[in-house]
Structure 1
Amino acid sequence: MTLLSARRVGKVYALTRYSFALQARNYTQPAQSAARKDPQFRDYFVTHLPSSSLHPDPRGPTSPFHKLPRGASTPHVGDTSQSPAAFQALVDRETTVVRIPLRSAKHHFGAVTARGTRPANEDTYQAGVIDIPAFAKRPPTSVTIKRRNLQDPVAQPRESRGAETASGDPQVFYFGVFDGHGGTECSSFLRDYLHEYIQNAARDIELQSSLRPGATVPPTTTELPVMQEGDRRRIGALEKYLVQTWRRIVGGYFKRFKPPHFAYDGTESTDPAIADHISVEEVVEYAFLRADLDFVQAQASKQEDDPVRAERPLNDDEIFHRPSMTRSPHIGGRARFKGGSTGSVAMISTPTPAPFWHPIAPSSLLVAHVGDTRILLCSTETGEAIPVTSNHHPSSPIEASRLRRYAATFVTDSFGEERMSGLANTRAFGDVHSKRIGVSAEPELKRIELGPAEFSFLVLVSDGVSGTLLDQEVVDIIKESKTPEQGARDVVNFSTEVTREGDNATCLVLRLGGWERRQEGGVGSMGTRESRNWRRQEAADNPRRSRT
């Protein structure tokens, strides 16, 4: 076959694949969709601060309330008849909306990563505000009516609350940690684009907010998952096309797989809990599998060791040679990338404008997890570490039963860990050569309703931390820190100090409502202090015990 004919065949295949994708994308496409704005991901959050904190308030009280007699300075309890007039003037003062960079807000969020003894750091992370409708549970009607009637400034704090988005919903926060293997191509792709897949999926199916006043509520919304209004037929068509593409391109395990949250077989159902209602779990699962499919397709289309292709510019196939026009042909760099990445994503939505770290604010936590990165919660009452994710390893009974009939062999390495075809993870993004035996990016989804101050903080770590430290050790180290940023730094420093593998270590710490009481539960940080001191002393006495 000549080079010209090969190019023609490639163009025909590309056009055919594009036409199938276009049909699925344009399925029941509304006429007004072209006018919708693309969702925007922001690395800052918006909040309200008192105007007097930015400049002097000319309408301030005539006499400062701190000079009142002791008998007149009673605590404010929401009753205006008993509150000092000067204090009430401070409560009613105007607020100013400000933007605070999330990664610089060390009292709310901290992220630290270290290379360890590896040649390069393949870990990445992301943090910001994602532009999707709220998915929090709607607050009870009795509470809403009570707050509206009382006009209680304590129930609706004007200060220290987040500003609503353009759609009127409270902000939805997004945090993710990604652990690459074989290189940074896949983990960097997830860091830069995974949130876009979630945003675009929610926009394409016209997902509506769970807090919208006029939204129709199916009978099952009192239970989880929370169902939200959306275009059921459209997401059914997208899911069906996605599954068929996996079967046609990859085959093997994907000939029989059906994601647990996909419901494309029931798109025409008359059940009020299904018709025109979608859960955010289904959207996230679709986004994960769509991102993985695009990455795998991009790697499969590349020619290995092709000197002609290697000399061409990366943007040679793009319109006007502009890299910003498309990213699909060049996902993962110039050459075929055979590695992959694990990842854990945490999204937090609140039913009120009060941010999730406020002590009176309830919130909904949605966790999507692939591989052996780890997410932990710290209980305010007991001080215990609560694992939210599980490791997707061949030694897991669930994963073993899922893959036993597809995998070629299960072997045990010299460290006593089971591996499947040389891989330690049974779920991961990428890993092109292991897709047929079932290494997929099907996320393990879990939704947790966080009560006011029920948990002290949330932790996301890569396996460089979780493979070295116990869950309780990670939590106890953070308890002793003054800020989440210091807590993340202390965890990474201790992990790299006592590690035996020297793997890349990344830690993200999120402040929750019970942060100020993090030392009160159980025995505080004393439970593992003795063992941590012993491990630190052992590492100091034998610095080269495992790094020769």
Structure 2
Amino acid sequence: MLNTVFRSSICSVPLRGTRFSPNKGLSCSKGATGLLVTENHEQGRNHSYFQLFHKLRLSQGPDPVESPRLTPHMVTAILRMNERTAQLSGGAVKEVQCNQLPANKPIEDRHVEGKLTGSSKYLFGVFDGHAGCACAQTLKDRLFQYMSVSMADLSLLNKLYQGREDVAAQLIEYLPTTTMEDVSPDLASIHWQSLFQFVNDSLDMQGMDTTVEEALTNAFLRLDQDISTEAGFHPGDEGLTEDLVNIAFSGAVGCVAFIDGLDLYVANVGDSQAVVGSHCSDSSTWEATNLSHKHDSQNEKEVKRLIRRHPNESSNILRGGRLFGELMPLRAFGDVRYKWQKRDLIHLSNLASKTSNFLTAYRDMKLPNNYRTPPYLDAEPEVMHYRLSPKDRFIILASDGLWDSDGMTVDKAVSLIGHHTEGQQVLGRYRPAEDSLLGGINSALKKRKEGLAKKAVDDNVATHLLRHALGLEHGYISAQLTLPEKLVRYYRDDITITVIHFDQEYIKNFGVLH
């Protein structure tokens, strides 16, 4: 019954091993960030829990909320399956905690954490793929390297140029929370050639004053350009050609934080979000500061930006709140279907029609209607700078799977983590000082009692947020985690959360140390 409720009209994005039809469009793997277009929008992922579980009751017998299929222990085991934690020293970051929960199979989100080699300059990124994970994976593998090159001084660039094949290894030290997947030798060679050329081009640009904001923007745009350029035909290696084309035609949005001393920069493309959590000591409240804006049709400035670049197509570009009625984010990596010239898209389709065993998904590829003046999409990041102060405690980076969860806002997320940390701080054994007065002990015990009341089930704050995003109450979470694979994508997206905790002592003493 449930399978007949959702009838998706599909747009075109190829990827190997997933649901794709160039003439019918994208499969139903994504909603808010991806390209899902349903004929009945009321049946989408934003259903209330009541509607969701009402349908489950009708189709699957026992009430999944009142009679959970998973025990609390099983729920916790699932929620903690992908959690990661790393303690750090040196610089403004003392700890990073991450977690993910897939809705797509395989998950299309990626996260990566690292620092510039030999420094205390940290990089954190969350990437949300659509039409598969190919583009998000290449961002995880490559974006930090491009950022490092873009911010490198002349000495490092010369060292990188002379080192040649060791370029990538010299740029980034990945944190223990990051697991890097192996890349095929042929693909790695293509990536290295592009990165090495970027090093060479950066040497030619030395002498020009560049701000951090400009360097980050340059890195984002250059990688997106290379993704597009690499998707050419590679004679004699059909598999490599198809891999590179799939990376370019799939897409991803991304949100990256760069922390250098007390300077925090957030570079965002698409609809992932970054928010700083600050503690107001005078009122004992938590304050959220949003360091990103969603690049979608709900953002008036973003719509004006798009129309300004295509002034004669304002009635055609956005339909149903999506680019050509298909793509939700208005900035993204990859997605060359909205960037390439029409003749190049037709050439690829013709090339695919002449082959017998690869690029088959691109045969007779249907172009968006009224496709006249590409590119309609770019990966230019919106970069925001923030100066850390002692009141700032953490920053959350998360894909839209978290922010689109029922009732989740940036204020709520910050409050949840803030109260979680307050609960964790009182877990140690209380030993009053020998000279403590009775009133002081009583006050300390009262605060301890309040903190214990806030103690969470999960030590990892990313898991804590994830649990709340799913509804907190055990029956709701169990029902969410036992949704059929073909149905789950209609009710939630992949969720990726990274929480970076700031070192308060470092921030307080920064002026003395520097």
The structure with more helix, counted as a fraction of residues: 2
TM-score when normalising by structure 1:
0.46
Which of the two has higher C-alpha Rg?
A: 1
Structure with more contact order per residue of length (Cα contacts < 8 Å, sep ≥ 6): 2
